[in-house]
């Protein structure tokens, strides 16, 4: 229920912002209409030989209308900047690492494609290097509405494998564990992509590539954000802006092939 409520609040907020933008556009159009109408009336009066007023009065009138139009344009631009700042502030950060030891968690949320509860518990309760499991933590203060994960690795038989996972409502500081289809410690991770939709409606990617050393897999995450219709949004210091036409986007984008199993495991205390 809390996640549904957050999503509903976000949708309401988006509708309100759209209504505000629509009002700004409407205001500018009304101002332009008034300007055109005034010119038309002036021309009609002039055709009847009536006095139009001094040049200064006309200049003053045009200046007033121009100021109103400029005011609407400025407010709209400021609103775009505010929305851009809001989008950038809602961007998540992920801490990702191989999980060997799991201690004293209130509950453990785990995603696995083809495993049952018994296998999940067995893998989670192993405090060592016997099994492979990956821990993802949302270390930002923001909720991530939709999350998809693409994990590429070489399995224990030497075959290239791609596992995909999906999740929704990834709260701040929440911990999520991923168990590969081949959970042997002999697998070799080569690439991991996290595709996410932020609470500000921005689509982004977080990519981890294999480093020179085994422990380098999750050290340097690269963030990419997909361009929207707001030109004021930037990658900032956190990542790079890309478009849907970029080859990078086509490389990063993917769809989970199926919904994976989700397990919520009761607290696991120290296991030796």
* Residue pLDDT tens, the chain, 272 long: 444 444 454 454 455 455 445 555 555 555 555 555 555 455 545 545 555 555 555 555 666 666 666 666 666 666 666 776 777 788 899 999 888 777 667 788 899 988 888 999 889 888 777 899 999 999 999 899 899 999 999 998 999 999 999 999 899 999 999 999 999 988 888 899 999 999 888 899 999 887 655 555 677 789 999 887 766 677 667 788 899 999 999 999 998 876 778 888 887 665 44
| Radius of gyration, alpha carbons of the chain | 28
CB 234 within 8 A of CB 241: yes
Q: Could you identify the residue written with the tokens 């009066």?
A: 45
CB 196 within 8 A of CB 206: yes
Cα 240 to chain center, whole Å?
13
The pTM is what? 0.71
CB 129 within 8 A of CB 167: no
CB 271 within 8 A of CB 127: yes
DSSP string, 80-143: HHHHHHHHHHT---EEEEE-------S-EEEEESS--HHHHHHHHT--SSSB--EEEEE-SSS-
């Amino acid at each position: 229920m809390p996640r549904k409520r957050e999503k509903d609040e976000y949708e309401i907020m988006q509708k309100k912002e759209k209504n505000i933008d629509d009002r700004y556009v409407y205001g500018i159009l009304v101002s332009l209409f008034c300007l055109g109408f005034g010119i038309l009336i002036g021309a009609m009066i002039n055709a009847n030989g009536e006095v139009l007023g001094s040049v200064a009065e006309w200049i003053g009138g045009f200046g007033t209308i121009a100021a109103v139009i400029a005011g609407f344009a400025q407010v709209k631009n400021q609103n775009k900047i505010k929305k851009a700042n809001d989008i950038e502030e809602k961007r998540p950060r992920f801490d990702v690492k191989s999980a060997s030891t799991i201690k004293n968690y209130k509950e453990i949320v785990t995603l696995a494609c083809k495993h049952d509860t018994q296998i999940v518990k067995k893998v989670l309760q192993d405090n060592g290097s016997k099994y492979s499991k990956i821990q993802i933590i949302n270390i930002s203060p923001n909720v991530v509405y939709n999350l998809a994960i693409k994990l590429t690795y070489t399995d224990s038989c030497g075959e290239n494998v791609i596992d995909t996972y999906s999740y929704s409502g990834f709260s701040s500081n929440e911990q999520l564990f991923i168990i590969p289809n081949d959970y042997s410690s002999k697998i070799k991770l080569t690439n991991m992509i996290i595709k996410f939709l932020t609470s500000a409606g921005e689509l982004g990617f977080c990519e981890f590539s294999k480093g020179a050393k085994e422990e380098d897999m999750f050290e340097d995450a690269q963030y990419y954000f997909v361009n929207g219709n707001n030109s004021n949004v930037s990658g900032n210091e956190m990542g790079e802006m890309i478009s849907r036409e970029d080859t990078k986007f086509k490389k990063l984008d993917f769809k989970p092939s199926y919904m994976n199993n989700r397990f919520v495991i009761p607290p696991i205390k120290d296991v030796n």
